[in-house]
Structure 1
Amino acid sequence: MTVSDTLRAAALSSKAWPYEEARKLLKRYPDGAPGKGHILFETGYGPSGLPHIGTFNEVLRTTMVRNAFHALSDVPTRLVAFSDDMDGLRKVPDNVPNGAMLAEHLGKPLTQVPDPFGCHESFAHHNNATLREFLDRYGFDYEFVSATERYQAGAFDEALRQVLRRYSAIMDIMLPTLRKERQATYSPILPISAKSGIVLQVPVEVIDAEAGLVRFQDTSVPGGEMVEQSILSGAAKLQWKVDWAMRWVALGVDYEMAGKDLIDSVTQSSKICRALGARPPEGFNYEMFLDEKGEKISKSKGNGLSLDQWLTYGPQESLAFYAYREPKKAKQLHMGVIPRAVDEYWQFRGNYANQAVEQQLGNPVHHIHDGKLPQGTLPVTFGLLLNLVGVMGDATRDQVWSYLRNYVADASPEAYPELDALIGHALAYHRDFVAPTLKRRAPEPNEAAALQKLDDELGALSADASAEDVQNIVYAIGKDEAFGFAELRDWFKALYQTLLGADQGPRMGSFIALYGIDNSRKLIAKVLGQS
């Protein structure tokens, strides 16, 4: 078997979730490519607010499934990032300027609402541009599709006629899911008022399905006049669940994942898709990212982390790692998760080369890099870097490199470019989040005695002492009953709180070797009031 055959055979039985999802598509088309000649993946975005990491997460995970499918099949694929930008503006987001101006355009399609930032044709155009920059920065292979452009170009017209033909069946699906008062006003069709430009939520009567004609009362104008109007070519859009189903039909979508909060929407849209004469796409429901308070991340609230924030304090691979792990488990997304994600990414990346194929296919880094891992190692952890920067204070990148040379003989930006990038992230993270929380405390008498012993032992070490040599000294002092530590962890906690100003910290042997024995002794002297 060739390497490619070996990988494909392993992928066919891999329990990694992207491969499990990709195998659904093999079963969907057991005879190979569908009539359209490709498999279509879709992700959806509502540009009623700025895109956030949840949006990135969906495109990333879908891309991972797409890549997994490529390992299993030679059938071509496409990925569409669909923007529902014809939706009416329902409320003013909390995290954008000029809210009063936006309030004047409530109800209008997002592509008809002025840009509160004043730099694009509309609010939707602004958010769409942000989304595309958001996705382009990571290098996603996708095609952007605007709902407004497709509706107005007539690309959805035949599917809209089918909605009118199957109007009664769609109502039979949707009405039992609604409250009684909502049933009285519900319509799958949302006509756009020719006079006010508002997307109307009013009952409609189908007049002529083939011509696309409906009758409704335009409640957005004085007197609420009765209007007969076509729904084709951008004169109307569809209610959310019906719109989703129509899009699956019109575009021929084969795979789309969605958040757990949309399980009911997936169920109803799938029924509507079948009523329209098509097969719903494959997919699965992932759990939502939560903010630090455990609340769902929202575009309109702007809570949680932005992509820019994460990429300020950690590399994009660490974000991809965090998104890959346990997609069906709710996870908090806040600044505190970044350092661990960085170090765990590197841990899994370091393990990859020595793993069997089956283990590699289940390794997150395989899916982050589509099996093509970059070269390079990381001689220190991100956590250790943060501790180093913490004791250095207002350090520069060059100063950090000078300390690293105490620990790594060939330490330089040229030899370790990814470490150089991490230094920048560590400096930013320390400046904005660690430094304001650091507070060294004075040692208790027994702790001071132990620190003095550590200083004496460090002073007796030879110049070529290793991190392990230092660690052995630290352990021996902590276990020495003369210093009165009930448990070894009490000694470590004392080291972290007195030397680093934190409750948690690194392996001290590694930290002292990195910071330098002389510098570490000066730090101990300062804590003991000897300098």
Structure 2
Amino acid sequence: MTVPAVPADLTEEIVAAATEGKAWPFEEARKIIARLERKGGKDEVLFETGYGPSGLPHIGTFGEVARTTMVRHAFRVLTKDAIPTRLLCFSDDMDGMRKVPENVPNQEKLAESLHLPLTRVPDPFGTHESFGAHNNARLRAFLDAFGFDYEFASSTDYYLSGRFDDILIRVAERYQAIMDVMLPTLREERQATYSPFLPISPSTGRVLYVPMKQVNAADGTITFDDEDGTEITMPVTGGNVKLQWKPDFGARWAALDVDFEMFGKDHLSNQPVYDRICSVLGGDPPEHFVYELFLDDRGEKISKSKGNGLTIDEWLTYASPESLSLFMFQKPKTAKRLYFDVIPRTVDEYFAHLSAFGRQDAAGQVNNPVWHIHSGHPPAVEMPVSFALLLNLVSASNAESADVLWAYISRYAPDVTPESAPELDALVGYAIRYFEDFVRPKKVFRAPDETERQALSELDAKLGTLAPDSDPAAIQDAILDVARQHERYLDPKRKGPDGGPGVSGVWFQALYETLLGQERGPRFGSFVALYGIDETRALIAKALAGELAAATPSA
């Protein structure tokens, strides 16, 4: 998901539509524009995202970068790219390791390094000079693979190189003002020992949470007791200290003059603290966007140390990067379950938005998610078969190879080939992997009851009257005609074509459960058109003979 140069021929129609755009990236971009007007302008606008490398990069980290990229692009369009922008991905890798992540090897060895800065903790994977460097490399490799336009920043580098020296001296000078912000937010026992400075022990190398005996602003030094009780006086500059995480937020904003940063809802209560510290240090707090947290399949917050929920690699095993970007775009202020079952729906929604884009006017296009996902240049792709349909096709045909699925697809859409539709070819591979790992293990066929047997027999006969190349709509009508002959499948709340009761979902649920071994699925007429009328009749025969239910282990 790159941020390409905004084209010189950007039409006034698109700019005008974007100016009135309702999509959330436009709302955030307009806040940044108002900020610049209030400040009297800037030579450059800085977007920032943060990463805590205490655990492996997870999908939420990608979400921050993707969403910030969307806001950055919206800003560039609204300003016609008149102001240079940068995106800085900042890693707090000088933070002390407070606990051992549950999803990494060599945990006993890691336990020996508790409270060391992450860039001094040995890499449990044995591939980099430190655990922090390993996790930073993993993050950068992923962001690079997506083509994000960003600059990576290491907290360790900034502290050791002296880039934060000026702000650290300012913290010493305004120490009491910062304490006045922080102390009311702390418990009484924590107040007694709190300091915004965390010295790095000269004897053990660990990050120390100790009270300051003296802060000398004139000399830029602090005095404290080391772990062995020795009184130490040392400069706050040159990487000898780091800041506590709350002051670090505000100090970084002030030092770098950050204009925009988003963060999760778990930071919301601390946002006023970050802002006040930034102001105390002479900075102007950036514009914020607070997003809701992702939840796992049990409704628990996703944690990089626990490794629950979906990883970046897992999503990309079963779906495209663009579908992941769509998931990040949709309702960022609503808590969402981020687990395997959201993938098929998100994939089909992505292609639906992509299909609609070419038919929309400028106002519709700039509010279409794919405009933001592709930075204003979505590809022209029409997907003849949905992901949900492919999953059902794999299920019914027991296909284990792309060639088998393409045989069905080619009959359904003769002009489509793997070469002419690479996106569909990729989707075929995703569908096979997803089915094998998540659908097949849960498939449970049940035997039809007497009413269902009668209806299935009638459906078999009805399908036998249709031409082999009947379109999905004609097949769907035939399926509905059969259901209307059975009171069980009528829904008085719906209207049929003759004004009578319509067909309830109970009929389709029966078809899914007896023929496909699942509770729900796509439009059944479309499935039959893709799978084949004769093949569907053979499937019905197996269900009536009890062969499908007998093949279910729990049956």
**TM-score for both structures, normalised by structure 2:** 0.92
Secondary structure of residue in 1 paired with 2:482 = helix
Residues 406 and 513, structure 1, Cα contact 8 Å, conserved in 2: no
Deviation at 1:182, TM superposition (A): 0.4
Secondary structure of residue in 1 paired with 2:287 = coil
1:504 pairs with 517, 520, 531, which one?
A: 520
- The answer to whether residue 275 in structure 2 is matched with residue 274 in structure 1 is no
2:203 pairs with 195, 211, 215, which one?
A: 195
Partners of 1:421 and 1:297 in 2: CA distance: 28
Superposition map of 1:364-513 within 5 A: 364-481=369-486, 484-487=488-491, 488=503, 489-513=505-529
* Residue of structure 1 equivalent to 2:496: none
Partners of 2:93 and 2:206 in 1: CA distance: 14
Residues 82 and 147, structure 1, Cα contact 8 Å, conserved in 2: yes
Deviation at 1:4, TM superposition (A): 2.2
Larger mean Cα displacement after TM superposition, 197-206 or 136-145: 197-206
Residues 447 and 546, structure 2, Cα contact 8 Å, conserved in 1: no
Aligned amino acid, residue 415 of structure 1: S
Secondary structure of residue in 1 paired with 2:48 = strand
Aligned amino acid, residue 38 of structure 1: E
Secondary structure of residue in 1 paired with 2:11 = helix
Show CA shifts across 1:48-89 (max 9, x none). 000111100011110000000010111010000000000000
1:230 pairs with 230, 235, 241, which one?
A: 235
Residues 399 and 405, structure 2, Cα contact 8 Å, conserved in 1: no
- The answer to whether residue 78 in structure 2 is matched with residue 72 in structure 1 is yes
Aligned amino acid, residue 97 of structure 1: P
2:295 pairs with 290, 294, 297, which one?
A: 290
Secondary structure of residue in 2 paired with 1:256 = strand
Partners of 1:367 and 1:189 in 2: CA distance: 41
Show CA shifts across 1:336-393 (max 9, x none). 1111101111111111112222222211111101110112210011111111011122
Show CA shifts across 1:83-110 (max 9, x none). 0000000000111111111110101100
* Residue of structure 1 equivalent to 2:225: 217
Show CA shifts across 1:117-154 (max 9, x none). 11110000000001111211211100000000111011
Residues 396 and 516, structure 2, Cα contact 8 Å, conserved in 1: yes
Residues 164 and 206, structure 1, Cα contact 8 Å, conserved in 2: no
Residues 253 and 286, structure 2, Cα contact 8 Å, conserved in 1: yes
Partners of 2:214 and 2:355 in 1: CA distance: 62
Aligned amino acid, residue 56 of structure 1: F
Deviation at 1:486, TM superposition (A): 4.7
* Residue of structure 2 equivalent to 1:86: 94
Deviation at 1:14, TM superposition (A): 1.5
Show CA shifts across 1:168-211 (max 9, x none). 10000000110000000100000000000010001114443243
Partners of 1:31 and 1:290 in 2: CA distance: 38
Deviation at 1:13, TM superposition (A): 2.1
Matched-pair identity in %: 53
Relative to structure 1, is the Cα distance of residues 31 and 94 closer, same or farther in structure 2, using a 3 angstrom cutoff?
A: closer
Partners of 1:14 and 1:522 in 2: CA distance: 52
* Residue of structure 1 equivalent to 2:110: 102
* Residue of structure 1 equivalent to 2:363: 358
Partners of 1:369 and 1:512 in 2: CA distance: 34
* Residue of structure 1 equivalent to 2:552: none
1:144 pairs with 146, 152, 158, which one?
A: 152
Deviation at 1:265, TM superposition (A): 2.3
* Residue of structure 1 equivalent to 2:31: 24
* Residue of structure 2 equivalent to 1:153: 161
Relative to structure 1, is the Cα distance of residues 494 and 379 closer, same or farther in structure 2, using a 3 angstrom cutoff?
A: same
Aligned amino acid, residue 417 of structure 2: S
Superposition map of 1:248-267 within 5 A: 248-267=253-272
Secondary structure of residue in 2 paired with 1:204 = coil
Superposition map of 1:325-344 within 5 A: 325-344=330-349
Residues 187 and 204, structure 1, Cα contact 8 Å, conserved in 2: yes
- The answer to whether residue 10 in structure 2 is matched with residue 10 in structure 1 is no
Deviation at 1:452, TM superposition (A): 1.5
Residues 50 and 127, structure 1, Cα contact 8 Å, conserved in 2: yes
Partners of 2:458 and 2:202 in 1: CA distance: 84
1:316 pairs with 318, 321, 334, which one?
A: 321
Partners of 2:526 and 2:215 in 1: CA distance: 77
Partners of 1:207 and 1:17 in 2: CA distance: 45
RMSD: 1.5
Residues 32 and 75, structure 1, Cα contact 8 Å, conserved in 2: no
1:61 pairs with 56, 67, 77, which one?
A: 67
Partners of 2:49 and 2:187 in 1: CA distance: 29
Partners of 2:247 and 2:490 in 1: CA distance: 65
Residues 401 and 411, structure 1, Cα contact 8 Å, conserved in 2: no
Residues 292 and 304, structure 1, Cα contact 8 Å, conserved in 2: yes
1:347 pairs with 343, 352, 370, which one?
A: 352
